[in-house]
Amino acid sequence: MVYDKEKLLQIVKKNEETEIDCLKKLVNIPTCYDKHHDMTPIITQLTDEFEKRGYQVQTFSTSGAPVIVAEMNRGMKKTLLFYNHYDVQPEEPLDEWKSPPYELSMRNDRLYGRGVHDNKGSLVANIFGVQSAFQAGYEPKCNIRFIIEGEEEAGSIHLEEFCKAHPDLLKSDGCVWENAKAIPNQRSKFKAGVKGVVYFELHVKGFFRDAHSGDAPIVVNPAWRLVWALSSLKNEKEEILIDGFYDDVLPPKKEELELFTKYPSDEIEQYKQLYKTDKFLLGRDGVEFWKELILKPTCTICGLLTGWTGPGSKTVVGKEAMAKVDFRIVPNQKVFTVKQLLRKHLDKHGFSDIDARFLTGYEPNRTQIDNPFIQMLKDVAKDFSGKEAVLFPSAQGSGPAYLFGSHTPWVFGDVFDPESNVHAPNESMRLNELRYNTAFIAAVVTELGTY
């Protein structure tokens, strides 16, 4: 390693008050895209943070939230790219927050606020990590570029506009996608892929008004229509029943299955701790657990709405019903194909009256796990944590990484923290995590030009 870990940590601690103040300014700005928050204040704040550190900053308009590009072109052969987002999830339910969601607060060495973990904390750690590398005198042998969007939590609806218009800005020798960190005595996790997702709303209409449930024998009940349609999508063995759905799914590679056998046993225990359970669906465990979680597609009912759901009884046949359904897809499945297959399935099974509205979708994408960039991150993580990092071929979740994948190797990381409450009330980050995240990024910036 060409860096001194303790020297980097000293600099990070010296800057900590300023770093927390920067994070506070970002967290205190409401930036939920679906709530139509004004993004101008955070764009102004981020522009100021980058420019005073010597970056050239451009703001690119899209049909939705703007994309910020901050670049430090140092004339080097290699470029390190950071992808982050400045938008956040809705803060509800508000009554469960112990402190205001849009006011950064600290309790017991944890930082609280909407976006503090996902993804403003990581963004600030990246910014200060690069700064720390320079302050340590290492003069990183790479150019630095940040791409920061404002719609990730809403499905990155308009990021494709930016990516197609500016493919040159996506090219790099490695992209840190949102989170990459290492903390002493904790294993880092690096995920070199994401599943795709295809998200629908299924709408069913009955008669033009709600009906008395006594008239159930003579009126169309949209709730039953919807339930029957949903039950046709998947069986009790979790097998998706849509004709042709699995045709494009690539079978697991031998090396992937071998990788699963080497995972520490407590990786699964962490999921049991997270969900407070002794066993998982269909008793999945070991290699089967990871194969299903990481490599297999899914079909999930995310929400249902119909009829009377208030207090007490109301004997009614609701006039309409709606379900939100997502499909997680894997290489080589395509969003467009799944849209077609679902429509054909519903029509074939007598549900042509159901309106399947496509809301959003991502294609799946992966970087090869043996890519030198990923291996470099793994080595630095071991140096910081004292433990071997765990490499995952893919995450079980989704993201717009496919827009970057043909231009750059990329990876995102994490450290298990069940108290972070990402997407939930009282979202938080350990102060120690912010500290080591920052120092880890400083080391990565320093190392990139050497591998």
Strands (DSSP E) contained in 138-179 are 143-149, 174-177
DSSP annotation of 369 reads T
Residue 86 to residues 9, 15, 115, 123, 171: CA-CA distances in angstroms?
26, 22, 8, 8, 21
CA gap 17, 160 in Å, rounded: 37
CA gap 221, 206 in Å, rounded: 6
Q: Which of 413, 420, 423, 406 lies closest to 444 in space, CA to CA?
A: 413
CA gap 225, 236 in Å, rounded: 19
Q: DSSP 3-state assignment of 25? A: helix
> Given 19, 71, 91, 152, which residue is catalytic?
152
CB 170 within 8 Å of CB 408: yes
Q: Which of 25, 34, 42 lies closest to 92 in space, CA to CA?
A: 34
> Given 19, 71, 87, 153, which residue is catalytic?
87
Q: Say which residues have a Cβ less than 8 Å from residue 196's Cβ, sequence separation at least 6.
A: 328, 329, 330, 333, 334, 335, 361, 362, 363, 364, 365, 398, 402
| Beta-bridge mates of residue 316 | 212
CA gap 369, 366 in Å, rounded: 8
Q: Is 49 designated active site?
A: no
Q: Tokens at residue 334, please?
A: 């395509």
CB 187 within 8 Å of CB 389: yes
Q: Is 152 designated active site?
A: yes
- Dihedral, CA atoms, 6, 12, 16, 21, nearest 10 degrees? -170
Catalytic residues: 87, 152
